[in-house]
Amino acid sequence: MGDTELVKNVYYVGAMHRDRRLFDELIPLPEGTSYNSYLVIGSEKTALIDTVDPDKIEELILKLKALQIKKLDYIIVDHAEQDHSGGITRVREEYPGAKVVTNEKCKGMLKDLLLLEEDVFISVKDREVLSLGDKSLEFIFTPWVHWPETMSVYMKETGILFSCDMFGSHRAIPDIFKQEGFEGPAKRYFAEIMSPFRNNVRTNLEKLKVLDIKIIAPSHGIIFKEAKVIFAAYEDWASENVKNEVLLAYVSMHGSTKKMVEVLKAALMARGIKVHLFNLATSDLGEIAVALMDSATVIIGASTVLAGIHPLAANAAYIVNALRPKTKFASMVTSFGWGEKAVEVFKGIMTNFKGELLTPVISKGYPKATELTEINRLADEILKKHKEIGIG
């Protein structure tokens, strides 16, 4: 890896996890990920900001040794999730005097997750400042990006914001400052991690706006030496705006649902609507999450299995429901042989969905003229609904 000094005496000491392919055993990682940890050497005290995933902790230890760090005063913990906190115990083995500095909520979580004892902690409050001598660390509570205890750290002497998960991206790339091409991975990460917390993201952006932030150093992916670029992208992604687009995700066992989906796709495109088409048997969940961010409408296409929705479609509906998208309209196209409960199951899954459920299209067997007419009716309705909200 190239240069790792952000500014004088502030170092990247994190680890790249290039061959990690899943996060939370769920989210695909086409470019791996990184766990960003930072070392701040003040004139009087030295602090480590976050650790790394336990799988990579020895890399962090080696980096601290290479920098000839003999004493560590503080381990700042912005977030209790173990991809950042999981290395604390090992770091304290090497640096037994290091105090764990975090907020009360995070402290409670770290006791539960890592079995840390009360006496290792120093608790801080929102906007409290910790002096390292010629540098200072201000703790800014930024809850729900990603968990309720999440906080950021601002160093006013350098204008660096250590933002933890917020502004991150899952990438393991050699140059941690390579800002070009950031948008795709950062948007994908936002879609997967931040999207359900859009309201909190907006609140936190307002809180951070008053600071003179020059550099954003998140806990995953690249470091932004031009902070305003990713800040502006977040303002856009966290908005409630949607586009004249439809997410059409389907699974088809014997071709009936596939035919319905193909006809619907063509009908929507003929009406000037952009369609994001995904075959759920082969698609990347991250790409579906990105398409979901912009789509005004979600349509799930599903074969029927044992009288209910095909499990791949059920999983897609579950993910859509969990991500609480800004999507305004949803519906289904579905086919069945002998059991007709797919729509019922779909509605039962989509309990968080606050938009409007449009009348689905259901085909007994292969779609015939009646169903194909119905599909065109659904396309007409989607266009009408999009026009009503000013995007058609």
Instruction: Tell me which residues touch ligand FEO (CB under 6 A).
Output: 79, 81, 83-84, 146, 165, 219-220
C-beta of 84 vs 276, nearer to ligand FEO:
84
Smallest distance, ligand FEO to C-beta of residue 34, A: 10
Smallest distance, ligand FEO to C-beta of residue 92, A: 20
DSSP-derived 3-state class of residue 126: coil
C-alpha 166/C-alpha 234 separation (Å) is: 9
C-beta of 53 vs 262, nearer to ligand FEO:
53
Smallest distance, ligand FEO to C-beta of residue 203, A: 18
C-beta of 56 vs 220, nearer to ligand FEO:
220
Task: Enumerate the β-bridge partners of residue 48.
Answer: 39, 75
C-alpha 236/C-alpha 248 separation (Å) is: 23
C-beta of 52 vs 285, nearer to ligand FEO:
52
Determine the residue with CB nearest ligand FEO.
81
Residue type, 159: G
Smallest distance, ligand FEO to C-beta of residue 186, A: 14
Q: Which among 10, 13, 165, 162 has a CA at the least distance from the CA of 80? A: 165
C-beta of 146 vs 258, nearer to ligand FEO:
146
Smallest distance, ligand FEO to C-beta of residue 168, A: 7
DSSP state letter for 197: G
C-beta of 79 vs 259, nearer to ligand FEO:
79
Smallest distance, ligand FEO to C-beta of residue 91, A: 17
Q: Tokens for 130?
A: 């910790």
Residue by residue, DSSP assigns 50-108 as: ----GGGHHHHHHHHHHTT-----EEE-S--SHHHHTTHHHHHHHSTT-EEEE-HHHHH
C-beta of 83 vs 374, nearer to ligand FEO:
83
Residue by residue, DSSP assigns 274-315 as: EEEEEETTT--HHHHHHHHHHEEEEEEEEEEETTEE-HHHHH
Question: Taking CA 226 as the corner, what is the angle to CA 224 and CA 227, rounded to the nearest 5 degrees?
Answer: 70
Smallest distance, ligand FEO to C-beta of residue 179, A: 20
Q: Which among 334, 329, 332, 333 has a CA at the least distance from the CA of 392? A: 329
